[in-house]
Structure 1
Amino acid sequence: MTDAFEITTDPARVDRDVVFRYLSGHSTWARGISRAVVERSLDHSLCFSGYVGSTQVAFARVISDYATFANLVDVFVLPDRRGQGYSKRMMEAVLAHPQLQGLRRFTLATWDAHSLYARYGFTSPSRPESLMERYFPDIYANAATP
């Protein structure tokens, strides 16, 4: 039941062990990421932690200048807590956050959750030919990244 679900952006409440374990061992996008890289990413992002009681069960991270642009990354709900509406509640909290209002562009990348994000207004890029990236999908598996 989602009634006891609490979302906080308090950096002190991020359960860094939960986030690291999920990202490094269970995610499809950051498998093998080092603890140091996770720590650095948490320190420089707006983090949303979802709790049931004292247990963190969900997470999302936003990288932003808080004026024009934001990128949503590292969104997850622990496997044994899925199907209870937590991802929707996380998205509602992210999009309602006062520092993330009035942005010109809010982006994300997903392999398998298009229907979740579409319900919150995310679409394929209107001009994909204008977007470019440097992408290193195996960086965590192959790199000596500190």
Structure 2
Amino acid sequence: MESKEWYYRLGDQTFMVSTKPELLSHDFIQASFSDPIMYWAKPISSENLRIMLDNSCLLGLYLKSPDPLPPSESTAENLVSPAAPLQPPFMFTQIGMARLVTDYMTLAFLTDVFVVPEHQGKGLGKWMIQCVKKLTDAMPELRRVMFMAKNAPHAVKFYEELLDAKMHDQERGKVVFMSSRDPEVDVLS
């Protein structure tokens, strides 16, 4: 599937969600897997991480920030000529992710949704899931998007609203199985 990017401006900060694999920070992903917020995950070997990423679609959430030239390189010779507009270089710092295990056609399993605590509460997780929805809506024969969610009213409501997901029968678990589906496909038993 072709790489996708979405941008979101919040105050003076610009955020990007991208499916470009070359932007992913393996260190960030491993640190996320070790964060207690991602209680279901743990760091994996570098080789297994590469295999995991090669076989899934990971949406990275990034904070875009100016990347000033180091002082030793900011000389008059390095400045852009007056004929060309000055375009500041930018750096993207990964601050979140959402991973789809998918065949890009009929099925997608959403997992590893994470936003670093210092950027939570800004609507970025909601926006990232809306990007997931745009991505899955573009899959022409999609039958189902499945995922596990914390069995808490706010978590269930979050995914019901953003992905039009339905909770499947589970009363006492700490997580719930949820899915959204093409209305033409039979309901799971």
Q: TM-score range by the shorter chain?
A: 0.7 to 0.9
The answer for unaligned runs of 5 or more in structure 1 is 131-146
Match in the other structure for 1:12: 22
TM-score, normalised with respect to structure 1: 0.77
Aligned-partner SS, 1:109? strand
* Pairing 1:61-140 to 2, within 5 Å after superposition: 61-97=99-135, 99-111=138-150, 112=152, 113-120=155-162, 121-125=164-168, 130=189
Percent identity of paired positions between Structure 1 and Structure 2? 29
Query: Which string of whole-angstrom CA distances, capped at 9 and with x for unpartnered residues, describes residues 77-130 of structure 1?
Result: 0111100111111111111126535411110001152222111211113766x3
- Cα distance in 2 for partners of 1:109, 1:82 equals 20
Aligned-partner SS, 1:100? coil
In 2 relative to 1, CA 101–115 (structure 1 residues): closer, same or farther, beyond 3 Å? farther
Amino acid at match of 1:29: W
* Pairing 1:16-35 to 2, within 5 Å after superposition: 16-26=26-36, 27-35=38-46
State the 1:39 CA deviation: 2.7
Structure with bigger helix share is: 1
TM-score, normalised with respect to structure 2: 0.61
The answer for unaligned runs of 5 or more in structure 2 is 1-9, 65-91, 170-186
* Pairing 1:34-49 to 2, within 5 Å after superposition: 34-49=45-60
- Check whether the contact 1:58–1:77 (CA below 8 A) recurs between aligned residues: yes
Amino acid at match of 1:95: K
Aligned-partner SS, 1:110? strand
Q: Identify the range of structure 1 (41-50 vs 119-128) with the bigger mean alpha-carbon deviation.
A: 119-128
State the 1:32 CA deviation: 4.8
- Cα distance in 2 for partners of 1:35, 1:46 equals 17
Aligned-partner SS, 1:52? strand
Q: Identify the range of structure 1 (47-56 vs 35-44) with the bigger mean alpha-carbon deviation.
A: 35-44
- Check whether the contact 1:60–1:75 (CA below 8 A) recurs between aligned residues: yes
Q: How many residues align?
A: 129
Q: Identify the range of structure 1 (36-45 vs 51-60) with the bigger mean alpha-carbon deviation.
A: 36-45
Q: CA RMSD in A?
A: 2.1
- Cα distance in 1 for partners of 2:123, 2:140 equals 23
